[in-house]
Amino acid sequence: MRNLSLIATEYESLNHANANLTATAFDLDENVLYAASERKNLDGEVEVELWKVPQRKKGDAGEGEVFPVMTTMFTSMASSNEPDEVPQIVSLRVIAEARRIAAIMRGGDVVVASLDEEDSPAEVEGTFETGILAASWSPDESLLILVTGDHKLILMTSTFDVLSEGPVHQNEFGEDAPINVGWGSKQTQFHGSLGKTAAQAPTNVKIGSSPDDDSIPRVSWRGDGAYFVISNLAPVDSLGFRRRVLRVYDRQAVLQSTSEAVGGLEHTLAWRPSGNLIAGTQRFGFEGGGSGREERHDVVFFERNGLRHGEFTLKAEHFKSTNQVEKSTKKWGYKVRDIVWSSDSNVLGLWVGTDHGDIVQLWTIGNYHWYLKHEVVAPEVAPGKPGRFTSMQWHPEATLQLILTTPDTILHRHYDWETFSSPSKPPQDSGLVAVLDASSVLLTPFRTQNVPPPMSSHQLAVKAVSSPDSPSSPYEAKNPVYVAFSADNDALACLWEDGLLQLWALNTRLGPGPGKVLNPSKIWEGRIPESKEDGKVVKTQSSDLIAPNCRIVGNTWPMLYQTRTGEVRKREYLLNSSIIRADSDQKPDERPVVPVGPESGQTEDDLTLGSFPEFCLHTETARGASGDTELFLGLAKSGRLYVFVPGREARILATNANSFTISSSFLVFTTTSHESKYVPIEELLGILLSTAESESPESKDVPDQWTVRKVERGSRIVVAVPSTMSLVLQMPRGNLETINPRPLVMEVVTKDLNEGNYRKAFFACRKHRIDLNVLVDHDQEQFLERVPQFVEQIHEIDHLNLFLTLIGRGSQAPEVVTKICDAVRIELEKTDLKKYINTILTAHVVKNPPDYESGLAELLRLRETDQSLVEEAVKYIIFLVDAEKLFDIALGMYDFSLVLMIAQHAQKDPREYLPFLKELRSLEKYYQRFRIDDHLKRHESALKNLNLGGAQYFEEAVAYIERYSLYEAALSIWKGTDQYKTVMEVYGDWLYERRELPQAAAAFLEAGSTQKAMVTFEKNLQWRELFDLAFLNDTPEEELQDMAYRVSEDLTSRKRYAEAGQVLLEYRKDVRGAVYALVQGNAFSEARRVANLHKHPELLEDIIRPASLDSRAQISEDINEMREQLRKQRNRIRELRIRKVEEPDAFYGTEDVAMQNIDVMTDVSMPATAFTRYTVAPTSVSRSSKKSSRSKRKAERKVSSGRKGTVDEEEYLLKSLTKLVDRFSTTREEVRSLLPHLYQFDGEYREEGLSLQADVSDFEKEMKEAIEEVWTRSPDGTDPSTATAEDTWASRMAEVERNKHINPLDKVSKPDVIRGKKWRINLYEF
């Protein structure tokens, strides 16, 4: 759907009377064009002048002229075997690496001139005596192919060294000759009564060349330089015909393939740079030509293997003269002189010579159809003398730049792709797109039809009709060069290059209905300027722009235009005559002419609004919702999408855009990364206007924060139709795809919701699969207020059911869902309960939680008013909810008629439910409900009904409480009754069994069961509460003694020695036992106090002194054990740290380098290896990406195990040392309480105390040194980051690797070893 637009034209004239330009060559390094002018002298020689034409640099405004400069001139022998129209220069090429330019002359000379040396003479590198018929350089300029006059093929290097030489005419097919077994040939077919002789009879097919053939060979290279093709005339065959043959060679000039015989094949030849097609031309309708009508003329294509591959027919009527009486000197009136592919392989240029002048046609392909996009007519040299082109060439790097030469002028024509689409706004947006094809405009309104190209909704013939007043010319271009749509009216303007303009009223049908989609009618035709035609007033005004090759921006007034440098200017005044405004129903003076001059106060200087950094072919303007600020957007050829507001610098919106459009309030653009992006214009304006003036140049890119949708590879925007929420895309092949992007749909839906048009918004969401929750999320309060309007517009039951169902499944909060459902239900009940009963039931069911009981209650209410609708309503609710669940819910409502109705319509087997219902009917009311609730597992409700049944069911209730652990519910039910204490005691028994002893004791006390409470206190060793309760209950003394003995034993087993001693002393009066318990707990001070208090000094010698020595021995044993552990772990940590430095790979378990290239994974279970240790499961099936709690616990156990040789061993040792410090602190407290008594006991006890104090002091010092050594970091210690971007397998594995390298000192904090003298006895040292 794209068209070739002429964006700039440049002319360079030699201003030389005898100039005859015939060849051009580019110097891409210096951006210079070299042109060769040749002319024959009287001596039969050709004089060649080489001109240097500097090219305008990118961004040059183009106001100044470029003057060619002649660099050198040389003379060569001319060839007299060709017609005069054939140039003597066969090839002109700049050899960039050698900085030379080479001219291959038809007379046989190879002339070379230096480019770097000024005024350097041209030198003849060599001469071929037989002349040169064809020459072509490879794309990389490393090889040269020559076809000499004696039909030899010569392959040379860039230094003109011969690599190979051989004849052009060969009988072999080539190395790629196909294998033919005769299938499908004439010899293998059945010939009926004619017999085998008919199959063996020779076939004489006349295959010749075209009468227009110039008999000169042609050479063309493929774009990558791997192959080249030669087209030349074969020798005369047995029938006297010569035909054109194509031969394909590789870079070594080895023949690869030969083309099939094609009658009427002409001399033209061009290999598409992309490499898939070789183009030529073919004539039909004469002896030896192609089989077809006489005037048929095709462009035919060949593959590299020589086989034909498609064609298209030229339009012969385009080459006919407007002067009908003029007699043609050619058989068909024209001939194709040359064909050339553009450097990007998208455009094929045909150079056609006619009697009335030369024409260049530009053809493109789309969806396997060839379009004639442009015609370039050679300018006339003088009135009545036809214009001629002398060469045609595409720029090798700047795509779509065509260079044509006439005898004295060089024409540069810059083209680019453009889509002609209608800029009309909603609701009148038709989505019209125009495609130019010869003299036809193919129109398709995408709002109503999506017709794939090359077809269209309407083919508008816009052939120009010559008027008597039009300038006389032997030929007029048939193709319009540009079309434009009116933004306000349904009109189309077609422009020709000679100034002809046609205006058409299209009469587009926007909606569905009978009649034509388009019914165009021409409303005006003429050349600028015109004043009146056919009674239609035409008012034209024009203005001279500041520079050539400017381009109008937008479709607004005052006029905006863009210069070649990208500057956007506004012109608010008019000067002479121009821009057309023609309308049959408008008066000529509806729009006043803006005066210009001193009186108006205006000047001729245009107002500069801003500037794009480079020229942008595709530009558009947009405004925000307020309409105050205008936004300018431009897409450059580099793929950069620029945007600016007046007075601000342009910023880059994207660097890889390939198309964009404005769709209502969105800017939509596609990228080369196969994405379409949707930018809200209002948001974009806010970003641009909020940018600070002092912002640095590096921040010119607009943040990429827009909605993105993936599209097919290579997609480009054709047109956006906001009214239908559609975006039409075209694929590279040419086929179309219409999508409905979510932002465009939501824009229309939001607008409809604001206007209260719920029906249109509902169906738009339904059609485009948008969650219907958006109807509520847009404005919840407004929706609740407009529920009556919503129900009135969407009156279909199925649609309301769908809406409520999606609301129930949406992300709304449960209370919001309930509010919406209730609002809709209430409105439906007011409107018509019977009609909307199904929707009302849906409203009850979709709530969160569902209100099934209310839904069934609606059925009961409906049964009382209209029995006929109940059956359908029951079937519907069974459809919504599982029948078994409905049966249980109805049963829980204690309504047996409803239960039967549900069961019958659910097709349940009566044998399953009738006996059960019959049994229930025979029971008393509350016991019946108890049985129903118990059946439905509603245990609390069942317990309440059982209580309501009376006291006779209390024993059963107690059993029911114990069966289902309904203790808390039971306590609330029987609170304040006589049975409350019984329930409380049962509750206490349950707590006792669960070992919740404090609560069980409290429950027993509440229930008045003191014995159970005492047992519970004793079990929980709450001896204070126990003896308090025992004294309150007057427990006998003997029983108290036994109780005290049992409690003390339990306390001693729990190492609660002080409490055990207190119980024995206070409740059993056992002083000896109390002292023994105290010394077991190292409470020597308390033991001595008790012994002296109760006058038992013998206990000091019998129990306390021996116990102090035992305690000292135990402490020494503990100290020795800790010392041994400290030394072992300290040495092991030293070994690990040395190994970590010397053998890091072995320490951390790095993978074997030889295993890194293995990429095969097996499904067989295997033990963990260095290669598979991070593989969660050795299969190709992915497991969950989240760590489970089980795996986390497993990892923690692995670290805490500290298995020797693992990477976690050091961390384990550090944690062990931390625990050792804590253990030593406890032991040191025991030493602190023991040392005073050993000192007081004197003698050997004092010596033992001194020894103990020294031993503990030495170990304390050793431990402190070890801790300082172990927790000292190495100089190269690092602190790697453990942060990860996301929770993926790769990130988790990376985290594992980082954790392995984290210093264990960062994981385990350093313990504090307090070395003080508070625990010491200083008297030991004296």
- As a whole number, mean pLDDT of residues 1285-1295 equals 53
What average pLDDT does the chain have?
A: 82
Question: Which carries the bigger pLDDT value, residue 1178 or residue 876?
Answer: 876
Question: Which carries the bigger pLDDT value, residue 542 or residue 812?
Answer: 812
List the beta bridge partners of residue 234: none
Is the confidence at residue 86, as pLDDT, over 60? yes
Please write the tens of the pLDDT for every residue from 1100-1130. Answer: 788 888 887 888 888 888 889 999 998 998 8
Lowest model confidence (mean pLDDT) among 500-504, 653-657, 947-951, 1174-1178:
1174-1178
Helices (H), 1097-1176: 1098-1099, 1105-1142, 1144-1148
Give pLDDT, residue 794. Answer: 94
Q: What percent of the chain has pLDDT over 70?
A: 83
The token pair at 142 is 């490393």
Give pLDDT, residue 57. Answer: 64
The angle at the Cα of 407, spanning 401 to 412, to the nearest 5 degrees, equals 15
- Percentages (nearest 5) of helix, strand, coil residues in the chain: 35, 25, 40
- As a whole number, mean pLDDT of residues 1041-1046 equals 87
- Which of 1077, 1109, 1112 has its CA nearest to residue 1091? 1077
Is the confidence at residue 577, as pLDDT, over 50? no
Residue type for position 730: Q
832-to-1225, 1258, 1321 alpha-carbon distances in Å? 84, 97, 99
- Which of 346, 341, 343, 263 has its CA nearest to residue 308? 263
Provide the Cα torsion 726, 732, 736, 738; round to 10°.
Answer: -20
Please write the tens of the pLDDT for every residue from 1153-1195. Answer: 444 444 444 444 444 433 333 333 333 334 444 445 555 555 5
The answer to whether 859 and 844 are in contact (CB under 8 A) is: no
Confidence band of 694 (pLDDT split at 50, 70, 90): very low
- As a whole number, mean pLDDT of residues 1264-1283 equals 65
Is the confidence at residue 985, as pLDDT, over 60? yes
The answer to whether 492 and 506 are in contact (CB under 8 A) is: yes
Is the confidence at residue 945, as pLDDT, over 80? yes
- As a whole number, mean pLDDT of residues 556-581 equals 69
Is the confidence at residue 583, as pLDDT, over 50? no
92-to-15, 100, 155, 839, 1118 alpha-carbon distances in Å? 22, 11, 17, 84, 103
Q: How far apart are the first and last CA of the chain?
A: 110
Confidence band of 274 (pLDDT split at 50, 70, 90): very high
Give the distance from CA 941 to its chain's centroid: 56
Lowest model confidence (mean pLDDT) among 408-412, 1053-1057, 1248-1252:
1248-1252
Three-class DSSP labels, 16-81:
CCCCCEEEEEEECCCCEEEEEEEEECCCCEEEEEEEEEECCCCCCCCCCCCCCEEEEEEEEECCCC
DSSP letter string, 996-1058: -HHHHHHHHHHHT-HHHHHHHHHHTT-HHHHHHHHHHTT--HHHHHHHHHHHHHHHHHTT-HH
| Calpha distance 624→688 (Å, rounded) | 12
Confidence band of 230 (pLDDT split at 50, 70, 90): very high
Give pLDDT, residue 1270. Answer: 86
The angle at the Cα of 943, spanning 940 to 946, to the nearest 5 degrees, equals 155
Give pLDDT, residue 256. Answer: 94
At 100 the three-state DSSP class reads strand
List the beta bridge partners of residue 542: none
- As a whole number, mean pLDDT of residues 537-543 equals 49
Is the confidence at residue 1025, as pLDDT, over 70? yes
Give pLDDT, residue 597. Answer: 33
Lowest model confidence (mean pLDDT) among 187-196, 441-450, 756-765:
187-196
DSSP letter string, 886-941: HHHHHHHTT-HHHHHHHHHHTT--HHHHHHHHHHHHTS-HHHHHHHHHHHTT-HHH
Give pLDDT, residue 1300. Answer: 54
Confidence band of 545 (pLDDT split at 50, 70, 90): low
90's enclosing H/E stretch is: strand 89-95
Is the confidence at residue 35, as pLDDT, over 90? yes
Give pLDDT, residue 484. Answer: 92
Question: Which carries the bigger pLDDT value, residue 269 or residue 1236?
Answer: 269
For strands 500-505 and 491-495, give the pairing: antiparallel
Three-class DSSP labels, 497-513:
CCCEEEEEECCCCCCCC
Give pLDDT, residue 281. Answer: 95
- As a whole number, mean pLDDT of residues 282-290 equals 89
At 592 the three-state DSSP class reads coil
Please write the tens of the pLDDT for every residue from 1212-1269. Answer: 888 888 898 888 888 888 888 777 777 777 677 777 777 788 888 888 888 888 888 8
Q: Evaluate the CA torsion angle 1040, 1041, 1044, 1046 in order and state its sign.
A: negative
707-710 β-sheet, strand order: 657-663, 666-671, 675-680, 707-710
Give pLDDT, residue 477. Answer: 67
Give pLDDT, residue 119. Answer: 76
Is the confidence at residue 327, as pLDDT, over 60? no
Please write the tens of the pLDDT for every residue from 352-383. Answer: 998 888 999 999 999 899 999 999 999 887 77
Is the confidence at residue 45, as pLDDT, over 80? yes
Give pLDDT, residue 1304. Answer: 73
1210's enclosing H/E stretch is: helix 1209-1241
Give pLDDT, residue 1241. Answer: 76
- Which of 935, 875, 881, 880 has its CA nearest to residue 906? 875
Give pLDDT, residue 187. Answer: 63
The angle at the Cα of 795, spanning 790 to 801, to the nearest 5 degrees, equals 90
The token pair at 1296 is 């594992």
1189's enclosing H/E stretch is: helix 1189-1201
Question: Which carries the bigger pLDDT value, residue 1139 or residue 1189?
Answer: 1139
The token pair at 355 is 């009697």
469 burial via Cβ count (<10 Å: 0-12, 13-18, 19+): exposed
| Calpha distance 1283→1291 (Å, rounded) | 9
Please write the tens of the pLDDT for every residue from 1076-1088. Answer: 888 888 788 788 8
Confidence band of 804 (pLDDT split at 50, 70, 90): very high
Lowest model confidence (mean pLDDT) among 64-73, 294-303, 1003-1012:
64-73
Lowest model confidence (mean pLDDT) among 739-748, 789-798, 1271-1280:
1271-1280
How many residues in the chain?
1326
List the beta bridge partners of residue 227: 250
Give pLDDT, residue 1283. Answer: 38
Please write the tens of the pLDDT for every residue from 151-170. Answer: 999 999 999 999 999 999 99
